[in-house]
Every structure is written in structure tokens, then in C-alpha cells.
Amino acid sequence: MQIRRVEVEGPDRRYALSYADWGGPGAARTVICVHGLTRNARDFDHLATVLAQDMRVICPDVIGRGLSDRLQDPAHYALPTYVAHMLQLIRELELETVDWIGTSMGGLIGMGVAATEGSPIRRLVLNDVGPFLPKAALESINGYVGRDPRFADLAELEAYLRRIHAGFGPLTDAQWRHMATHSAREHPDGGLGLSYDQRLATAMREGPIHDIDLWPVWDAIRCPVLVIRGANSDLLLPETAREMTERGPRAKLVELPGIGHAPALMADDQIALVRDWLAS
């Protein structure tokens, strides 16, 4: 695996977008894995290690997260910006077709790319997200995004992630430590913070939060779709997931018991589920 960077056009200037590149440009197929709202590319290390045996795996840090640049104006942290950047990344890497795995926000970005004219997405995996986002779940997310917590050490940061992301499901101590290590950003005073722009929440806090309805985007998608839902998820409601199997691309739905928002895709059975569906 190598960490690479490309420049993408922003609303005011060009920005550096970082991505983890597993495999090489000679692979017959490429899959792009995109993380959730406050996460980063390294969440997919376990999945990428397996998928890279058969294909090239590209895991970007969405702008404002991980090793990617921060936007000058936080008002542009929004889905249209992310979709535009991912389309630019695909063009920069000269990829004609890709598979896409998106967790939460990464799935919304994937939906946006898949709904574009002449979309490059061959197969789409949506991890615990859909075209309807309920207000209650968005309010819960808004409760921790942008709070800029500080931690005395990595163990304290890991404990925070275990609490905030308990919905990810049962992870090993090593997996939680991996997430903590790649979620940490050192401040000048030696303390630790989180490796995303705390201004991500600016737009969310400008007014009241409402349900988000993206069904027209869903109905424009033409590629095969696999929807993975944590059975305890409050973001992808069961009725939304069922409707996703009945309209638009008529997705295949798999529910994972005992997991909320969102399955970490680190467990062997979850990795096998994704790998086998992409190969089918």
C-alpha cells in the first residue's frame, strides 16, 4: 500500500486529495472505498488487504479528513463538492469503470456518482445508508461532530471512539487501536485531537435539521447495488432499506444482526460478503 496525492479543483482553488493505493494500475478491476463523515481512508485497511489480492483498491481521504487538505470555506463541505472531487479522482487515475464501496457518507457520494450521466460505477455497495436520512439520526450525529475533543493520549482517544462508534459492531482490541492510531492528530501542545476539520459541522448548525430525501437520486441509478444494513441502525431505517429493494436499481439487501450504524467491514464474514458480491 502506498499513500498518494492528486490535486482536485475546489470552489476557490486547487486542493490536495490523499488516497491509499492498494495494488497497481495494471489490475483488471479497480474498487474505490469511501469512508463515513468523520472517518478516513485507513478504515478500509482490513478490507483492502483482501480485495487487493484480485483488484486495485483506492481509498481516498475525502477533503477535510485524514491527510487531505482542509477547505478554506467550510460551507463547501457538502455532497456536490465530494461527488465532483471523486469524479476528478477517477479521471486523474484514468479509470474507465470502477466498483464502489461507500460507508454512510461514502455511500451517499457513491449514489451521487452512480446517478451521473455516463457513470463509471459498475457495481455499488452501500454500507448502512440510503436515500432517506431521518432527522433523529442526523441530530445524533450533530451531537458529536465538530466538538473538537482533546485527549491526553491514544488510549483516551480510543475510548472515545469506542463510545461514539459503538454501532460499528464487535471489533477486536487491535482493530480499535488501528482506528485510533489513524484518527489521531497531534496538536502543538502535545495533546491529541481527531484528524478531520472540526468545521464540518458548520453547515449542519446553520439552521434546523430536517429529514433528507434523495429518492430522485436513487431512482436515477442503473448499476447493481448491494445494501448492507446494521440491524440496529438508526440512519438506514428498515422501511427505507425495504423500499430500496423495490424501486430504482432494486438493490440486494443484507442485514447484519447485533450491529448499528455502521458495520465496520473488518470482520471476516463482512469482508467475504463484499468480496463475493463484487465477484458475482
Please check the confidence at residue 222 and state whether its pLDDT lies above 80: yes
| Residue 175 pLDDT exceeds 90 | yes
Lookup: cell for 123: 457495481
Q: Which pLDDT does position 37 carry in this prediction?
A: 96
Q: Can you read off the three cell numbers belonging to residue 212?
A: 433528507
Largest Cα span, the chain = 54
How far apart are the C-alpha atoms of 152 and 161, rounded to whole Å? Answer: 14
Query: Average pLDDT in the 96-106 region?
Result: 98
- Classify domain 2-132+213-279 by CATH number: 3.40.50.1820
d(CA 221, CA 243): 14
Percent of the chain with pLDDT over 70: 100
Please state the rounded mean pLDDT for residues 126-151. 92
Q: What is the pLDDT of residues 192-221, one digit of tens each?
A: 999 999 999 887 777 788 999 999 999 999
Name, in order, each residue with C-beta under 8 angstroms of 141's C-beta and a sequence gap of 6 or more.
Answer: 37
State the cell numbers at 172. 477486536
Place of cell 474505490: 32
The answer, yes or no, to whether residue 118 has pLDDT greater than 90, is yes
Q: What is the mean pLDDT of residues 100-122?
A: 97
Domain boundaries, the chain: 2-132+213-279
% helix / strand / coil in the chain, to the nearest 5? 35, 25, 40
Torsion of the alpha carbons at 256, 257, 262 and 266, rounded to the nearest 10: -70
Q: Considering the chain, what percentage of its residues have pLDDT values greater than 90?
A: 88
* Alpha-carbon torsion (150, 142, 179, 77), positive or negative: negative
Q: Where are the beta strands (DSSP E) in the chain?
A: 2-9, 14-22, 30-34, 56-60, 98-103, 121-127, 132-133, 184-186, 192-194, 212-213, 225-230, 252-256
pLDDT band of 188, cuts 50, 70, 90: confident
d(CA 117, CA 153): 47
- Interval 17-41: pLDDT, tens: 999 999 877 889 999 999 999 999 9
Cell numbers representing residue 67 in the block:
491527510
Report pLDDT for 274.
98
Angle subtended at Cα 104 by Cα 99 and Cα 106, rounded to the nearest 5 degrees: 40
Of the pLDDT bands very low, low, confident and very high (cuts 50, 70, 90), residue 166 is very high
Query: Quick one: CA dihedral 159, 164, 165, 169, positive or negative?
Result: positive
Q: What is the mean pLDDT of residues 223-242?
A: 98
Does residue 270 have a pLDDT over 90?
A: yes
Whether residue 276 is predicted with pLDDT greater than 90 in this model: the reply is yes
Question: Which residues fall within 8 angstroms of residue 216, CB to CB, at 6 or more apart?
Answer: none
Q: What is the mean pLDDT of residues 63-78?
A: 96
Query: Which is more confidently placed, 268 or 188?
Result: 268
Predicted local distance difference test score (pLDDT) of residue 208: 83
Query: The whole model's pTM is what?
Result: 0.96
Three-class secondary structure of residue 79 per DSSP: helix
Q: Taking 80 as the threshold, does the pLDDT of residue 48 lie above it?
A: yes
Mean pLDDT of 241-253: 98
Task: Please report the pLDDT score of residue 203 as a whole number.
Answer: 72
